[in-house]
Structure 1
Amino acid sequence: MTTPLADVLAAVPSLNQPGEPFAFAAEGDTIVGSWDIVKATSLYPTELTSIDRDYRITVTFDIAKDTYDFNEVHTATTTSVDADSAGFQKSFFSGKTSSKEFSFELGGINKTDDGVSIKPVAYSFSTKRIKEPLFTFLEQHGWRRRKGLLGGLFNR
């Protein structure tokens, strides 16, 4: 039996676990998971580099069919400035994806949300890490993932 949407939304805070870099919240009739992957500035002797990466997953519901669907948004912004040039790059993705990333940057002085240090900036990100607890939670409450056209044809 499917748990009523209002009860599922009221239980969303139970998804938030200490030590995890992401958080879930009920926003209207949706569930939103967000992950501030990295926000850092590296100060090299002759160069300034800044990186900001974020991820957001939004789950919507079809109450009549007891199903849910989701959309993911990835954003990344990188800026760099040195004595001779300046650069800016922004990327944006919206849709469904599965990705895994790891980054490690050596050298310089790094400023993050935790403060300033000479430690390297390192981060890892996996969509599975945030989606798995969310989808398990929904399935435990009787909600099924909506199948797209090809998923319905091939029973995926």
Structure 2
Amino acid sequence: MRFSLPSLLLASGAAALLLGGCARNIRVPRTTPQYGLQVRVSLPPIQPGEPLDNVRATVEIINNNDLPYVLSDPAQTQACLPVVWANGQALPWTLHMRRTKDARVTVPAHGSITRVYELPLSRYAGATRPASGADYQLQLFYHPRVYSPAGSFARNVEIPSNRFRF
């Protein structure tokens, strides 16, 4: 196949514009099990018909590394994005949060920290827990900035938690 020089220059310029400028500015969190960090979520017992306005969610971060890690505090609601699953389907909701200045916590080597915060679960699962036999599960997607170990730069990662039935 033969292509003229202007068409080749035009095609290479369009490819450079599409692949170069736009894709470079996108920052996508990565799931990184190599960091050795795990997140567990738990809730108090919730009965059918009980309001879901302010539920005390417990978030535990486990560090399986030989070094302590400095992370964003999971008690900041913008650091943990909740997803409620009903019978295996994620319930839709709209995100109206801004990330504020980062509060940091240190997770000791081979240790864990626990944070408890008010989770407005009614935004994600409805006003009350339905009396139907549906299987409701809560999963948090923790998006911390990882500031450690010493000498490394801060990275944004995504760590999914367990799915907790409620």
With the shorter chain as reference, the TM-score category is under 0.3
Of Structure 1 and Structure 2, which has the larger fraction of its residues in strand?
A: 1
> What TM-score do you get using the length of structure 1 for normalisation?
0.22
Higher RCO (CA 8 Å, separation ≥ 6 residues) = 2
> What TM-score do you get using the length of structure 2 for normalisation?
0.22
Q: Larger Rg: 1 or 2?
A: 2
